[in-house]
């Protein structure tokens, strides 16, 4: 074998995991070589047209096929549970190799933002002693998660050389924490009609967010007699208003005519057309003022534990975004970086991804959104908060549009009641892998331009109890797809 082939072979050994680590019934293998970066690879084979399937073939050709999983056939919670139970068993038997594998383990997930969120939710819920950090391969349309952490937003090459190059970056990547957010929506049972979220095309499978955002059971601590309560979680953003309505139209079209959506550029072009046809550029003429955020709901934020305050939302704002990462709609940064005067006068900081704060940004219309294409362009910065609450006005509208991490739905609003509440609060953190060029900033990273000290005010006893209830929230259940759901409906 020549030197180039030897180098390539050695490189792949650095990521290889033997069968006895992955399969409980496999014979223990004696090996002296410990890979520097053992990986588990999860691929949505239906993402990116044919790219997902091609990527699956390439990874299985380079690594042990048993460490590469097709999410269309195996759910990640079952895979990770099985492997970690086996690792613990081996460690208890004194297997030092298994201990090193667990310590060095990293995860690669290939798919859209919905797929990546699913994996992050499962890892969060399993509460592993050494939760593995995650690298994301951009296979979707928006790819906000991969872009935020330096993995790019263009669909990758699926040939062996491209995959080797990506794995090499995974080996060198640094770990970074990312906040996760819990969302709850509660409303009284309407006198007539239903208030369950409506998928873009009701007769088809619900999109991922409809499983991430679902009605709670009667045994759930958040259940209230006489009310419908829904709960879910997200990593990137929650949005409401006109942008979610356009996204809803796009998902409807894609689900009805999937054959037209096999190319990333075509998808983005179709999205741009829908922005025009949905009236987002002429929102003041074509968009009912009753759907402007201020007329729909009263908005409250919690900047300090236990202290709610009203948030003034300009009457012209038609779309509001609660943003965790510095990437929205395929790489745009609605928050930007406030200058020193804004930081001093309004207590606004750079958008750190691990500071327990969510950025709240408003937009008037698509023209307003175009400022994001300009250097230092940003939306209307409304607040940074630990929690945000929307209290909908009685009879303000029959429905509104909402979106979690790119997945939209239409939300009916009872006309006879004013107790519809949506509340977002901090849930916890998971580990991401950041590649060179990562645009996300950590509050603990000395290279970040400024630092925000954690609030020293201790939460009230009630707040601590509520926090504990939210931490019990099973992310694996909310991000997990039921067995009868087609993986192709995921982004």
The average pLDDT across 301-306 equals: 91
Residue 149 confidence (pLDDT) above 60: yes
The average pLDDT across 29-46 equals: 91
How confident is the model at residue 55, as a pLDDT? 95
Residue 487 confidence (pLDDT) above 60: no
Residue 224 confidence (pLDDT) above 90: no
Residue 105 or residue 204, greater confidence: 105
* Distance from C-alpha of 389 to C-alpha of 341, rounded to nearest angstrom: 28
Give the rounded percent of residues in the chain with a pLDDT score beyond 70.
72
Interacting residues of 100 by C-beta distance below 8 A, sequence separation 6+:
34
The average pLDDT across 114-138 equals: 89
Residue 273 or residue 153, greater confidence: 153
The confidence band for 251, taking pLDDT boundaries of 50, 70 and 90, is low
How confident is the model at residue 490, as a pLDDT? 43
The average pLDDT across 449-457 equals: 40
How confident is the model at residue 276, as a pLDDT? 47
Quick one: angle between helices 96-104 and 76-92, nearest 10?
140
* Distance from C-alpha of 250 to C-alpha of 330, rounded to nearest angstrom: 15
The confidence band for 225, taking pLDDT boundaries of 50, 70 and 90, is confident
How confident is the model at residue 459, as a pLDDT? 41
Residue 267 confidence (pLDDT) above 80: no
How confident is the model at residue 318, as a pLDDT? 85
87: left (phi over 0), alpha (psi -120 to 50) or beta: alpha
Residue 326 or residue 259, greater confidence: 326
* Distance from C-alpha of 411 to C-alpha of 5, rounded to nearest angstrom: 56
Is residue 264 packed enough to be buried (19+ CB in 10 Å), middle (13-18) or exposed (0-12)?
buried
Rg (CA), the chain: 23
How confident is the model at residue 365, as a pLDDT? 60
How confident is the model at residue 418, as a pLDDT? 65
The confidence band for 143, taking pLDDT boundaries of 50, 70 and 90, is confident
How confident is the model at residue 455, as a pLDDT? 36
The average pLDDT across 87-98 equals: 94
**What is the per-residue pLDDT across 41-85, written as a single tens digit (0 to 9) for each?**
999 988 877 789 999 999 999 999 999 999 989 989 999 999 999
Least confident of 16-30, 207-221, 315-329, 452-466: 452-466
Residue 460 confidence (pLDDT) above 50: no
For the chain, the first-to-last Cα distance in angstroms comes to 42
């Amino acid at each position: 074998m020549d030197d180039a082939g030897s180098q390539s072979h050695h490189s792949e050994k650095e990521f290889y995991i033997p069968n006895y680590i992955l399969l409980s019934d496999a014979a223990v293998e004696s090996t002296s070589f410990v890979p520097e970066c053992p990986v588990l690879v999860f691929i949505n084979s239906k993402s990116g047209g044919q790219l997902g399937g091609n990527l699956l073939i390439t990874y299985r050709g380079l690594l042990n096929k048993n460490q590469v999983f097709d999410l269309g056939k195996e759910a990640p919670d079952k895979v990770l549970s099985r492997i970690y139970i086996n690792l613990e068993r081996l460690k208890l038997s004194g297997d030092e190799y298994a201990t090193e594998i667990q310590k060095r383990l990293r995860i690669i997930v290939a798919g859209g933002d919905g797929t990546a969120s699913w994996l992050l939710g499962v890892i969060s819920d399993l509460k592993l002693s050494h939760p593995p950090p995650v690298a994301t391969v951009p296979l979707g349309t928006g790819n906000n998660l991969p872009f935020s952490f330096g993995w790019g937003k263009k669909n990758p090459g699926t040939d062996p050389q491209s995959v080797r190059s990506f794995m090499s970056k995974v080996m060198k990547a640094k770990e970074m924490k990312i906040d996760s957010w819990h969302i709850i929506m509660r409303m009284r049972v309407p006198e007539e009609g239903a208030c369950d979220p409506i998928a873009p095309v009701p007769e088809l499978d619900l999109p991922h967010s409809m499983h991430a955002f679902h009605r709670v059971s009667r045994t759930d601590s958040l259940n209230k007699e006489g009310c419908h309560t829904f709960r879910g979680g997200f990593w990137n953003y929650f949005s409401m208003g006109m942008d979610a309505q356009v996204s809803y139209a796009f998902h409807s079209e894609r689900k009805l005519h999937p054959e037209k959506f096999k190319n990333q550029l075509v998808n983005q072009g179709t999205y741009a057309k829908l922005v025009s046809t949905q009236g987002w550029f002429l929102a003041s003429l074509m968009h009912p003022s009753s759907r402007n955020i201020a007329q729909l709901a009263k908005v409250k934020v919690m900047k300090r534990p236990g202290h709610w305050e009203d948030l003034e939302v300009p009457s012209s704002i038609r779309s509001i975004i609660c943003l965790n990462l510095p990437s929205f709609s395929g790489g745009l940064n609605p928050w930007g970086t406030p200058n020193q005067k804004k930081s001093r006068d309004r207590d606004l900081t750079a958008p750190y991804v691990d500071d327990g704060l969510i950025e709240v940004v408003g937009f008037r219309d698509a023209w307003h959104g175009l400022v994001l294409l300009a250097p230092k362009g940003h939306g209307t910065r409304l607040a940074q908060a630990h929690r945000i609450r929307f209290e909908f006005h009685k009879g303000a509208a029959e429905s509104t549009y909402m979106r979690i991490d790119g997945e939209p739905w239409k939300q009916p609003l009872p006309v006879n009641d004013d107790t519809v509440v949506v509340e977002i609060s901090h849930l916890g953190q998971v580990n991401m892998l950041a590649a060179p060029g990562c645009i996300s900033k950590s509050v603990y990273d000395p290279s970040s331009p400024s630092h925000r000290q954690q609030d020293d005010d201790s939460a009230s006893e009630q707040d601590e109890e509520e926090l504990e209830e939210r931490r019990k929230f099973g992310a694996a259940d909310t991000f997990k797809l039921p067995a009868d759901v087609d993986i192709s409906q995921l982004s």
